[in-house]
Structure 1
Amino acid sequence: MSVAVISGGAGGLGRALGAALQARGWQVVALDRDIAGLEPGAALWPVTCDLTDRVQIARACAAVLAEHPRIDLVIHAAGLTHIGPFEHLTDAALRRLFEVNFFAAVDLTRHLQGAVRTARGTHLAISSVAGFAPLHHRTAYAASKHALEGFFGSLRSEEAAQEVRVAIAAPSFVATNTGNAGRTGDGLTRPGSAGDGVDPMTPEAAATAILRGLDRGAERIAVGRVARASWLVNRASPALYQRLMRRSIKGG
């Protein structure tokens, strides 16, 4: 049975990816700070882990490796976003966001790298449009996703010799957190609020698109028409992308 480890496995997209993999016959290990909504079973092992705590990450990974010395897929789906201008972003919020969005992924990769190599498996980083293009009122989020893409894009060349794949999925707007549920006083919340953008995808639709991309061997998976259009426009003309973004902010 193939094994997948998913950080943020109790969140909207992480949970949808886990459910889709279980439907394919995979065993899923779901790491998250709050796993109360996950029902353990033969194909699902929820593991409590605060991804801002390196000791907890190390402990969780040790427990996983004791049961699964071969890991076929690691999905880095955990994430926080900050919505608002940079002048309202506190240093504490910025650092916490980076701990979840970037450093947790690096730590998990370090601990699980050997098991993924043994399985000749795949690292899958869940990025965003903000990982390859600017995004208004998302300075911290965009910075963390750019860092994530830089890390995994570089890791890809290192792991190729080990027959390990590295893929990056960039969803546009996945409706996982309608109404900014759980938003804290420092402005941090899970990505996917209802106000994040137009044409939101359901987590299930995004998960289907991501796994379809993995099936065809894609290294970069733009998820949703907004993400695909943003990738093409920003790559062809960053200046045009900026103009379109400013026009969108002004309401046309």
Structure 2
Amino acid sequence: MYRKVFASKVFERKVVLITGGCAGIGRALAMRLAQAGARLVILDLQQAELDSLLQHLRDNLNCEAIGLCCDVADAAAVAQAVAQACERFGGIDVLINNAGITHRSTFAETELAVLQRVMAVNYFGAVHCTKAALPSLVARRGQIIVLSSLSGFAPLLYRSAYNASKHALHGLFETLRAELKGSGVNVMLVCPGFTATDLRKNALVGDGSMAQQPPLAIGKVASAQDVAESIYRGALRRRRLLVLSNVNWRARLLARFFPRLFERVLLPRLSGLKPGSSR
């Protein structure tokens, strides 16, 4: 009973900034942290969706929250949003770098602008938010939570920029964790497996247009709520790495130690290809 009561109080009145917070895992995290008593700052691109989410949080969960329309790829806009959050709530205790986009196209068929946009959102978005929030996080001995992916340690076909952005996140935040040692700030990298979100529905293709992707051809797809609950519990324990995938150990083992076998057996299935399919 003591542990449950203690756990329920950890995030009470804490200020949590979530990027990409209107849909998928970001929205599920907003709901879960609101239930835990956190005060929320939600960044997203769609003002109407922000307004709807804020109304829901206030009416149903009595949550104190603000929503700011912000493209995390814009460093100046992020700095302004973080400044607004700090002015409203006095600082930031937890930063959740969740915003992300994906694509599905071969590297040869992918225009440079698409590669740049994926990196701008997935990688530099996290850079911008972390740079802006870091002084407050250090002052409050807070947490940085970074949404990476299964592809952070095992590649997926036709997602070269997405894979690269997730590898870059690991390089950045593993270094930052070491540099922050002794500061009281925890850095947790989260690697979900296949999750039922809108990410695939809004995937870019090689020319920069959007196209809904076909259903995945592998295993069980997790719900955003289940992933959010696992992240919440990982944050309570201030974990360093959280791998949430029904194929994580096989993918990590084969990709690292048996790369040829991984490419032949597991890579096509992880990439959503059905047996006998080339694309």
What TM-score, normalized by structure 2, do the two folds share?
0.82
The Cα shift of 1:251 comes to 1.5
Equivalent residue of 1:64, what SS?
Answer: helix
| One-letter identity of the residue aligned with 1:4 | V
Alignment partners' CA distance in 1, 2:159 and 2:93: 33
Deviation at 1:245, TM superposition (A): 2.7
Residues 5/239 of structure 1: CA separation in 2 closer, same or farther (3 Å cut): same
Moved more, 93-102 or 179-188: 179-188
- Give 1:171 deviation, angstroms: 0.5
- 218-227 vs 88-97, greater mean Cα deviation: 218-227
Larger Rg, first or second structure (1 or 2): 2
Q: CA deviation at 1:188?
A: 5.4
**CA 1:53 to 1:217, structure 2 compared with 1: closer, same or farther past 3 Å?**
closer
Which residue of the partner structure matches residue 5 of structure 2? Answer: none
Alignment of 1:29-48 (within 5 A): 29-37=41-49, 38-40=53-55, 41=58, 42-48=63-69
Return the alpha-carbon distance in structure 1 between the equivalents of residues 199 and 99 of structure 2: 17
Task: Report the alpha carbon displacement of residue 71 of structure 1 after superposing the two structures with TM.
Answer: 1.7
Deviation at 1:242, TM superposition (A): 2.3
Aligned-pair identity in percent equals 32
Aligned AA (1:16): A
Report deviation, 1:34: 0.9
> 1:92 aligned to 2:87?
no
Q: 1:237 to 1:96 in 2, by over 3 A?
A: same
The aligned residue for residue 103 of structure 1 is 124
- With over 3 angstroms needed to count, the CA separation of the structure-2 counterparts of 1:152 and 1:178, relative to structure 1, is closer
Between stretches 239-248 and 32-41, larger displacement belongs to: 239-248
CA distance in 2: counterparts of 1:69 and 1:106, whole angstroms: 22
User: How far apart are 1:50 and its partner, in Å?
Assistant: 1.4
Distance 2:163 2:220 in 1: 20
Hey, what does 2:236 align to over in structure 1?
215
Whole-angstrom CA distance in 2 between matches of 1:27 and 1:125? 19
In structure 2, the partner of 1:186 is 208
- Quick check: 1:222–1:228 contact (8 Å CA) kept in 2? no
Work out the number of aligned pairs and report it.
Answer: 251
8 A Cα contact 2:114 2:204, kept in partner = no
Worse-matched range after superposition: 156-165 or 42-51: 42-51
Alignment of 1:67-78 (within 5 A): 67-78=88-99
TM-superposed deviation, 1:197: 4.8
1:174 to 2:195 alignment: yes
Counterpart CA distance in 2 for 1:196 and 1:118 is 46
Q: Is the 8 A contact 1:80 1:189 kept in 2?
A: no
2:34 counterpart residue number = 22
Gaps of 5+ in 1: none
- CA distances 1:48-78 after superposition (whole Å, capped 9, x unpaired): 1012222211211111121233322100000
Q: 2:160 matched to which residue of 1?
A: 139
Cα distance, 1:31 vs. partner? Answer: 0.5
Distance 1:68 1:179, change over 3 A: closer
Change (3 A) 1:247 1:86: closer
Over 3 Å counting, the alpha-carbon distance change for 1:215 and 1:235 in structure 2 is: farther
CA contact (8 A) 1:175 1:194 kept: no
d(CA) in 2 for partners of 1:223 and 1:121?
A: 23
Q: Deviations over 1:131-178 (max 9, x none)?
A: 112111110100011001110111000112211100100001111128
Cα distance change on mapping 1:247 and 1:100 into 2, 3 Å: closer
Instruction: For 2:27, give the aligned amino acid.
Output: R
String of CA shifts for 1:192-249, please: whole Å, max 9, x gaps. Answer: 9743854211110111112222223321101131234423443443343223234534
Residues 235-250 of structure 1 mapped to structure 2, 5 A cutoff: 235-246=256-267, 248=269, 249=273
- Structure 2 residue identity aligned to 1:226: V
The one-letter code sitting in structure 1 at the alignment partner of 2:208 is D
Does the residue aligned with 2:124 lie in a helix, a strand or coil? Answer: helix
- The answer to which of 239-248 and 73-82 deviates more is 239-248
How high is the TM-score relative to the length of structure 1?
A: 0.90
Aligned to 1:251: 275
Unmatched segments (≥5 aa) in structure 2: 1-12
